[in-house]
Amino acid sequence: MVERIWKSVKYEEVYLRAYDSAGVARASIGRYLNFYNRRRRHSSLDRHTPDEATLEPTPCLAVA
C-alpha cells in the first residue's frame, strides 16, 4: 500500500515538476499529499475521495 502512494507521488507530482529548491519541493509535495489524502479519487474506495468515503453514512446491518 505504501509503495502505491509513492508511485503516485512520483508520477503525478515529482516527475512533472522542476523544483527551484528543496523548500519548494517540500511545499509542493505537501500540497500534493493533502490532495491525495482528501480529494483524489481512489480505486480502493470505489472511485470515491477519502473525504467522501469518510463522510458517507455507513449502511445499517441487520441483526440476526
Q: What's the pLDDT score for residue 17? A: 94
Evaluate whether 29 touches 13 at the Cβ level (below 8 Å). yes
Is the torsion defined by CA of 22, 26, 27, 31 positive or negative? Answer: positive
pTM of model > 0.85? no
| Domains in the chain: boundaries | 2-55
Predicted local distance difference test score (pLDDT) of residue 60: 67
pLDDT digits (tens, 9 = 90+) for 6-57: 899 999 999 999 999 999 999 999 998 988 888 888 888 888 888 888 887 7
User: How much is the pLDDT for 23?
Assistant: 97
| C-alpha of 12 from chain center | 11
pLDDT at 1: 61
The CA–CA distances, whole Å, from 38 to 32, 33, 53 equal 10, 8, 10
Taken in order 40, 42, 48, 52, the sign of the CA dihedral is: negative
